[in-house]
Amino acid sequence: MSRLRDTTVSALGVVRRWPPVHWAVHQIALQIIKTRWGERFVRSVVGPQAQTDKEYAAWIAAHDTLSDEDRDAIRNHIDRFAERPTISVVMAAYRSDPYLLHEAVSSVRAQLYPHWELCIADDASPGDATWTALTDLAAQDARIKLVRRETNGGIAAATNSALALARGRFVAFLDHDDLLAERALYEVAAEIDAHPDADLIFSDEDKIDEKGRRSQPHHKTDWNAELMLGVNAVNHLTVIRHDLLADLGGVREGFEGAQDHDLVLRAAERATPARIRHIPWVLYHWRWQGRQGSFSRARAAECAASAARAVSEHLTRTGQAGAVEQLDLTARWLRVRRPLPDPKPLVSVIVPTRDRADLVAQVAEGVLANTAYAPLELLIVDNGSEEPATHALFERLAADPRVRIVRAPGPFNFSRLNNRAAAEAKGEVLVLLNNDISMIRPDWLDEMVAQAIRPNVGAVGAKLYYPDDTVQHAGVVLGVGDVAERVAGHLYAGAGSNHPGYQGHLRLARNVSAVTAACLAIRKAVYDSVGGLDEGHLAVAFNDVDLCLKVRAAGYDIVWTPFAELYHHESASRGSDLAPEKVARFEAEIRVMRDRWGPVLDADPFYGPVFDKRFTNYRLGEPPDRVPPWLRTDSRR
């Protein structure tokens, strides 16, 4: 199965280069996924977001094409803004393709928001072609400002030269061959109108070719500090308050290829998360496969090194310890390897069970013999086991001074069992671990503890696999499922183990709203401060989601890491929550979550409103669950 999957993945990489063939293969896949085996296999090959360019084009036509009525409503909304700040669009040009440059400038001139200026620096392009093209364009609109550098200084120096021309209250960045959506600056201004204290604003983006065909939409999470350490998760469109940008000294030279990543990290150090705003809509079209080429594609190694240095210096400035490692040169994916303190904190691993000696023996061996981390203690919570084999196993395990058997008879209540053990735990860090977990690599706990002891981190989740090596858990997304049951679901379930995930999310540590308690690390002080798991109302389902939401409400981050990998034989000891005798309990727990967290569940900051909330596969909603600003009730003053 694994070899067939790998072969199919390789073949698909070739097929995607030929749209007609790709379309035909996609039609076949649509038939295959009608079977249970086929659905799992296809998702393991293509990853969670199987969406063709043709489907995206149809979605654009239906949901991202403005009508004349929309444009009139936008202009009316602009008239009602409390203020209409000038937005300075800065651009560096060098040996620019005249056609692409004209298209880029035209996209600014076509903006529905009229209060802008375009500041362009020609970075000493050889000859007069680029400068002549720029002067011709500037003659057509007084809002276009130009400067011609005497010497070539690179992207950072040229951007700063363009920035010196800017007089707007906010600054937006545009490459000389990319395009802004006609609503882009209006959406930015609407965000400023709604949040006047915003310091940093960013939008979603996609790719566009020379024929104007859009593809590869990147719908981003809201501000994701952890993900920003692994990749520039902001990128385009980026808008920064001019005063803040001036305080930062503009773009730093020496970080070419990652100067935007470095700039956003430095800006975020000055801005609180509440003043970093994400507009969940594609407002920027990034040119690709064009004649122009780009610095980042031509000099991948230099760009990757710049990104690593930008993150490393950010860690130093913010007092965070960690070594930055390169994971993927082309994608510029990074890992921050966090150190453990000396001495390392005691960790209490909590495993509830009722019988199933085979599973308990497996997880105990994994913790005691196949885990590199020390010191630790293993608390096995015995929920009324009856089988002789289980009691014999407990007796053998108890001979190890690191093991304690905590007796907790009574009806199964996952929350109560963990709370009971947490109260007796001696460790500074608790790890909630299901009895159907087995280890893949011995360093799993080192990674989780290194994350969990960070003062801003409240809970940490691991990357879990089904026994067939497909992904079982890569974080929890809120508000997904059937309409009446939209509480939470696992991201990427069924994706192949070698798949990078949507925008690299399966390879990069990131902030999420919740993680599963099948393997969850949390400092005991944090666990106690939020009251632990809710044993009164959430005995079995959603108690981990509720715990994470309480932790986030207390001001902590939830981190998911792909660098702690384990197998999860899901619900092997209990059976499904949806067995007939458990449906009433499950429905009651759904009502508890909806009543307690309804608005939070419906607005997961890490899984945007454009996605179809019936699923967790990053497909776009039909229609998307986002009301544009010109149609919102609160915009009608």
Kindly report, residue by residue over 232-279, the tens digit of the pLDDT. 999 999 999 999 999 999 999 999 999 999 999 999 999 999 999 999
Phi, psi of 277 (to 5 degrees): -110, 135
Distance CA 422, CA 520 (A): 13
What is the helix (H) or strand (E) element at residue 158, kind and residue range?
A: helix 155-163
Distance CA 176, CA 173 (A): 10
Q: Is the pLDDT of residue 560 over 50?
A: yes
Determine contact, residues 402/378, Cβ cutoff 8 Å. yes
Distance CA 289, CA 278 (A): 27
| Mean model confidence pLDDT for the chain | 90
Report residue 373 as tokens: 């981390």
Work out the pLDDT band at 24, boundaries 50, 70, 90: low
Q: Is the pLDDT of residue 417 over 70?
A: yes
Q: What pLDDT does 636 receive? A: 46
Whole-prediction pTM value?
0.89
pLDDT digits (tens, 9 = 90+) for 160-194: 999 999 999 999 999 999 999 999 999 999 999 99
Q: Hey, what's the torsion of the CAs at 512, 620, 489, 370, to 10 degrees?
A: -60
Q: Is the pLDDT of residue 48 over 80?
A: no
Burial tier of 555 (Cβ tally within 10 Å: 0-12, 13-18, 19+) = exposed
SS3 call for 404:
strand
| Lowest mean per-residue pLDDT among 36-45, 205-214, 551-560 | 36-45
DSSP state letters, 276-329: EEEEEEEEEEEE-SSSS--HHHHTHHHHHHHHHHHHHHHHHHTT---EEEEEET
